[in-house]
Structure 1
Amino acid sequence: MRSLHLIVFIIISLLVKASKSDDGFCSAPSIDEKTKPIYWKVTNPTLSPSHLQGFQIFSYYHTNVLFSSCHSVSCRIGTNTLGAYLITPAMGSHFVMYFAKMKGMSSSGLPPKNIERLVFVVEGAVTLTNTSCSSQKLTVDSYAYLPPNFYHSLDCVESATLVVFERRYEHLGSHTTEFIVGSTDKQPLLETPGEVFELRKLLPASLAYDFNIHIMDFQPGEFLNVKEVHFNQHGLLLLEGQGLYRLGDNWYPVEAGDVIWMAPFVPQWYAALGKTRSRYLLYKDVNRNPL
């Protein structure tokens, strides 16, 4: 099976090198990316017309797997904020993943009772205020975990785009979660035996937490060493770069701004293509019995 992965990967790599057109997936747009802020492609995807400002419906199903490119159906979240739901329980997930595009002078609302929330900033900046009335500024690549029933407010003066995860918290004995604010670059690199990618986790690995968010970095040509199959659910946002994702028996070219929901026991594998690092953010449920 691994030999098949390598053969497919080599073929795709040769196609990338041979392509001279600007129209294909593997051809980067004629924009100097060095002058753009990190994660700019998430809010300016290749497939999205400029007049839609990144909100384009482009999705399809395959055997209980949803692959969604760009953003999905939109709704209002909080004050002066446009939301785009990407993953919901209607698909079979037990969590919600959505984009919140906050406009100038906007504020967030609170999640329902017993719902925990994690926000990750992909564009702009917001100010987070908690129960002690202390305020912290969250900029691109920073995040906050808000425990269930924890009062907070996210306020935006200019504009910002957040990716938000919410789920009903599963209590385990006397364990409780804590309010956390952090940034990706402050999280340590973790050991990945047998693998070549770089891994960071945004939340503690303790039993109190029923999910975690992984940040995974692949250099061009790097790939997962094994095809993974497990009972965990995933919600994935490709933050940077491009690559090839296997889901079930199908292979999908992906690029920054694409979102994938992986149901339990769906075979999955990834290889990074292109000339720059690819990075994705991955939701994973942990520390709870699947029953």
Structure 2
Amino acid sequence: MSLFGHTRTIVSARHALIAPDGHVPSSFPGWKNATAYVLISPAMGADLSQIRVTFDVASGKAVFPSDEHEHVIYVEAGECEIELADESISLTDGGYIFIPWHTSFNITGNDETRVTLFRKIFEFQDGIEPPPLVFGTASGIPGEPFLGNPRALLQTLLPIDPRYDMAVNIFTYQPGATLPFVETHIMEHGLLMLSGQGVYRLEESYYPVTAGDVIWMAPYCPQWFVAMGDEPASYLYYKDVHRLP
């Protein structure tokens, strides 16, 4: 319960921190016993949507029709089924899947399932085939030292391939580890804190962040992170790649 109307949530023109205390549920046509929390969307000026989906009972279903959007789904907790036209793929905690544009699918789960979904319009490129579906588990992706730092490990979930116009990665920092410099770049980010805590710099502001927080960063938003506390901190994040501006 909010005390005196206080929240850590902040929404500005070029960045946002969405804390769990302000989440408001939505439901969409065809959904059954499934709830969406639209945490990032074009309504705030973003080019992507980041949606958390939960399910009320064992038979919950979230429906996504075929259109120009592509999707990455990451299982935060529990398990789910991704129902495609000709197959069904099971994902458990830490599982992920990339679903190409013009592909309809359903997500089914139970009351222990929680997923994060990144959704964007696919940027078709002449001479390059659209990317294929791919899935796996984060535990099967080795963490690589970021710029040689073994205390900051980067897991790259999607193939590094020009067919893909988006990347989804997991960054894990040991306590005290940081991004090595303040990054300022053309890529937009949608981010979910998976575990731990720290401080995130967004433009000229510094925000305490913890597991469950969501961050949006517009292109060229200066950003930096330091992990704090006794446990490692990790976050899942999206960025747009492989397309000329």
Q: Same fold (TM over 0.5)?
A: yes
Sequence identity, in percent?
Answer: 30
Structure whose residues are more often helix by fraction: 1
**Structure 1 consecutive aligned stretches of length 4 or more whose deviation exceeds 4 Å:** none
1:65 maps to which of 1, 10, 15: 15
Match of 1:186 in 2: 140
Q: TM-score, normalised by structure 2?
A: 0.90
Match of 2:116 in 1: 163
Answer with 236-245 or 120-129: which moved more.
120-129
Alignment map for 1:19-38 (pairs within 5 Å): none
Query: Counterpart of 2:71 in structure 1: which amino acid?
Result: R
Query: Counterpart of 2:34 in structure 1: which amino acid?
Result: T
Q: Within 2, Cα distance between the matches of 1:199 and 1:85?
A: 26
Change (3 A) 1:75 1:158: closer
Match of 1:75 in 2: 26
Q: TM-score, normalised by structure 1?
A: 0.76
Structure 2 contact 82–107 (Cα < 8 Å) conserved: yes
Query: Counterpart of 1:259 in structure 2: which amino acid?
Result: V
Structure number, greater radius of gyration:
1
Match of 1:136 in 2: 89
Structure 1 contact 111–117 (Cα < 8 Å) conserved: no
Q: Within 2, Cα distance between the matches of 1:67 and 1:111?
A: 29
Look up the SS of the partner of 2:86 in the other structure.
Answer: coil
Query: Counterpart of 2:83 in structure 1: which amino acid?
Result: T
1:215 matched to 2:166: no
Match of 1:272 in 2: 227
1:243 maps to which of 181, 198, 207: 198
Look up the SS of the partner of 1:226 in the other structure.
Answer: coil
**Mind listing any 5+ residue stretches in structure 1 that lack a counterpart?**
1-46, 50-55
Deviation at 1:158, TM superposition (A): 4.4
Q: Within 2, Cα distance between the matches of 1:58 and 1:84?
A: 17
**Mind listing any 5+ residue stretches in structure 2 that lack a counterpart?**
none
How many positions carry a matched residue from both structures?
237
Structure 1 contact 145–179 (Cα < 8 Å) conserved: yes
Q: Within 2, Cα distance between the matches of 1:112 and 1:151?
A: 4
- Residue deviations 1:213-249 (CA, integer Å, cap 9, x gap): 1100000111111110001100111000000111111
Look up the SS of the partner of 1:90 in the other structure.
Answer: helix
